[in-house]
Structure formats: structure tokens, C-alpha cells
Amino acid sequence: MTYTITQNCIGCQRCLSACPTGAIQTDGTAFWIAIDRCNQCQDSHGVPQCWASCPTNEGCVPLAAAATAVPLTSISETSGDYWEAWFATYTRMVARLQGVQENGYWHDWFDGYAQTLKRLQTT
């Protein structure tokens, strides 16, 4: 199964150089994956490199997952008004971030760092 580039692509172009088969194509404004060239990096890597290099984690997904992906959530996101679309996208992304369960890694790291600083200051 090949991968595809979704609407979540931010156009960072990291995937262009990461793709070992040159399957990712661009016309300067849009990106797509040539289905006949994409082999999910099976011959060269353990995971597809477009997916691994994507900072959004949703810019490149398996083609089957793209068929079930959630489309744009409101009409305003597809409108021609730049600011209306920007705020609609921002609101959607903030709501999505608020729904993500936070792991305690950074809290634990910061607490440990703060304790280390206190110990260093007292010695």
C-alpha cells in the first residue's frame, strides 16, 4: 500500500529529500506521491521516510487511512477569506490539542531539573 499526502501537509519539503525512491513530487505549491514509485520504503528503511520526517505526523499517511481521514471541519476553512480560514483552522487545531492526553514526561523532567538546580544552589 502506498502513502499519500493529506491536507495536513504544511509544505515544509522535508519529505522531498527523505524519500529514497523519489516518489514525492511537487509543482511548487502542492505535493503528491507518485503511486507507481512509492514502496513504503520497504527495501531501504523500517518505516516510510515521508511519514518519519513529517513534523505534523499526519501529512503523509497510508492511502487507505486517507480515505477515512476527517475532512475539513467547517465551510469557513474552505472559503476564500484568508483570515476566516486561518481562525477556523486555528480553532480546530487548538481543540484537537486540548483533547490529547498529556504524558508526564516533561513534568517529571522539569521537576527533576528544578530539584537539581536547588541542590546546586545550596552547595
Predicted structure pTM score:
0.49
DSSP 3-state of 45: coil
β-pair partners for 5: 60
β-pair partners for 32: 25
Closest CA to 63 of 46, 44, 50, 77: 50
pLDDT at 75 over 80: no
Closest CA to 6 of 76, 45, 56, 78: 56
Instruction: Map out the domains of the chain as residue ranges.
Output: 3-67, 75-122
Mean pLDDT, all residues of the chain? 78
Q: Which CATH number fits domain 3-67: 3.30.70.20, 3.10.350.10, 3.40.30.10, 3.40.190.10?
A: 3.30.70.20
Closest CA to 88 of 74, 98, 100, 99: 74
Per-residue confidence band for 74, with pLDDT thresholds at 50, 70 and 90: very low
Quote the pLDDT of residue 117: 92
pLDDT, tens digit, for every residue of 5-41?
A: 888 788 888 888 999 999 998 887 788 888 888 888 8
